[in-house]
Chain A
């Protein structure tokens, strides 16, 4: 990923800042600049998410692209944030502990790097938190 392409989304990736349409109240992460429900009558503002959420589904990646091969095996999940939107992120836990319904919280982590001397991509990964599993 080019430097500019990563740099443009630093607030969103580092701090889990997405958007909200104030016309209908719907939250978006990844951020959207056009509400799919209200379209041109929507009004989009930034929204910082709490980072609390639930694992909807997951996998353990054992064979990855060159950039992520160093991290295998890693847990990748679709997480539903408590505010509603879903996103794709890694969960920092032993593969055998990952499960559908587990409660997680977003944390700031190193995700990948562009080679030996390129930009380091930081972003949000998730860690398990205490609490009852929620089956959505």
Chain B
């Protein structure tokens, strides 16, 4: 196994790109990443792209070939592979790229993620997102995605100390971070009242507890560590790449408000890297809903079950706190183009570790990215360091 490094990153602005198509978004991010790494397209050995549902959002499958073609690489006949794990598709694409380079099979690889969600109406996209859960036994009964996470929230609040205000603070904090991120979908600061006065989507979750519907793409260039200096003076090492699965349906989980796949993937990542929790300087977690960030911090082992609400309220997870979480603005404020999110998390951590995060900058040498598919049926955890 070879050590692996990230030498280039690129990310489109996240938001509603009425004027940009699926392939436009990907090309924009891909070109940025290659430019950042100083890599020519001809040098690439392979592409991996995370995408959840182009088939239903833009009625296009065969995404691997499409993006290779429109990246101008059809004449190179480059191998290009689409990977899918719902909202963890991006994290999975990154992991496939890391495995490919670590194995020695491929040298210069692009891992990307892309989703174009606004070409369909809200009702249709809500229905598509529900396909990340069990369509036959959850969706059939009328389960929506916010509805499933709301059931996690109700179970959690029934068992652990978490106030409605503490939960809202997750969104307030992430909007504060998003306001400092040029690519964020939402750059407006909000208050606790903004969250508590927004409309109920699925009790207890309100509109401002939920990540939005977003268009966007992100890409990174992955190379063997021994060649990283050819491309950049500030390579970022991949210290761990872990993945875990769990039951597709929430009702079959061992514990409704513990994501066992997060627990396991997190533990595997720490074991791989030979690191402890105190070594992690920043976290990007999968806050598709406010309750998801609370669960992630706990399930990754950064505090006991029932404590993340208080830590959030006390500012521990804010920029400037002891454990900054979602400096990008998270899924809530930066936006959540489902296939792209996992790659965007890697981009944010690389940006921070390079010291290029501007007003979001935290003091960090090691960061962790946590990407979830569905309600926790797939979890991918990466640790990156300089």
Interfacial residues, chain A to chain B (CB-CB below 8 A): 1, 5, 9, 13, 30, 56-69, 71, 74, 76-78, 86-90, 95, 100, 111-112, 121, 123
Contact = CB atoms under 8 A, between A and B. Distances in A.
A65 B130 contact: yes
Contacts of B126: 63-65
Contacts of A89: 141
A5 B202 contact: no
B233 interface: no
B142 A90 contact: yes
Given A64-B126, A67-B127, A100-B155, 4 more contacts: A30-B134, A65-B127, A88-B137, A121-B140
B44 to A, nearest CB: 39
Interface residues of B, number: 36
A87 B202 CA distance: 18
Interface stretch (B79-87, B108-116, B143-151): B143-151
Contacts of A56: 155, 251, 256
Contact of A88 (B123, B153, B204, B249): B249
Contacts of B201: 62-63
B154 A59 contact: yes
Interface in B185-211: 199-205
B252 interface: yes
B142 A64 contact: yes
B124 interface: yes
Contacts of B134: 30
A88 B138 contact: yes
Nearest to B155: A57
Contact of A86 (B136, B152, B154, B251): B251
B136 A76 contact: no
Nearest to B135: A1
A5 B134 CA distance: 14
B203 A59 contact: yes
29 contacts: A57-B155, A57-B256, A58-B151, A58-B154, A59-B202, A61-B143, A61-B202, A62-B200, A63-B201, A64-B144, A64-B147, A65-B124, A65-B144, A66-B127, A67-B127, A76-B141, A76-B202, A78-B250, A78-B251, A86-B251, A86-B252, A88-B137, A88-B138, A88-B251, A95-B203, A100-B154, A100-B155, A100-B158, A112-B140
Q: Give the most central of A69, A78, A86: most B CB within 10 Å.
A: A78
A57 B127 contact: no
Contacts of A30: 134, 136-137, 249
Nearest to A1: B140
B142 A68 contact: yes
Nearest to B257: A57
A79 to B, nearest CB: 8
A65 B250 contact: no
Contacts of B204: 59
Nearest to A135: B158
Nearest to A101: B158
B138 to A, nearest CB: 5
Contacts of A64: 126, 142, 144, 147
Contacts of B252: 86
Contacts of B152: 57
B203 A60 contact: yes
Nearest to A78: B251
